Amino acid sequence: MFKNVLFINALLLLLISSTFLSCQSKPEPILYGEDECDNCKMTISDPKYGAELITDKGKIFKFDSIECLADYSTKVESGTIGSMWVADFSNPENLINALDALYLKSDRLRSPMGLNLSAFNNSPELEKVINEFGGDRISWTDLIKYVSEKWN
């Protein structure tokens, strides 16, 4: 009997913890080659440019490029965005918060949707890439403006 109660308690704990886990607004790894971009429908395949948007309710949308994330973020109702994440160009497995990231627009780094935007975690990494490939820094707000000018 006691064993049973313990078992049920353990099960309950597992259930509760798993529900809490699913509610956190951490980004989920993008399955390159399998996941489809929620903005442009393309299969996401280049890890250097992946991006994610998590709504305030925890639903995750994935994108093949920063420009698709930017475009999508302007189409959803304001206030419903929980967080946004972009792949670090120099270390693509690492997703960084879109509002903390540093952005580069360089015609020699061709992103999947042709607007050639890439994201970096820190200034030294960004400088290194600018020295090699050229291009201009761009802020998140200017980036949003640039994408909506180009696509609308």
Name the minimum Å distance from CB 69 to another protein.
17
42 is a contact residue toward another protein (CB under 8 A): yes
- Determine the interface stretch with another protein among 1-9, 14-22, 33-41, 134-142 (rule: CB under 8 A): 33-41
Structural tokens at position 90:
């120099």
Q: Which of residues 112-131 bind another protein (CB under 8 A)?
A: 113-114
Measured from the Cβ of residue 144, the count of other Cβ atoms closer than 10 Å reads: 17
Q: Say if residues 140 and 99 touch (Cβ distance below 8 Å).
A: yes
47 is a contact residue toward another protein (CB under 8 A): yes
- Partners of 54 in the β-ladder: 60, 83
Judged by beta carbon, residue 113 or residue 140, the one nearer another protein is: 113
Name the minimum Å distance from CB 129 to another protein.
9
Judged by beta carbon, residue 118 or residue 121, the one nearer another protein is: 118
Residue 128: enclosing H or E segment and its boundaries? helix 123-133
Single out the residue of 111, 114, 113, 87 nearest to residue 98, CA to CA: 87
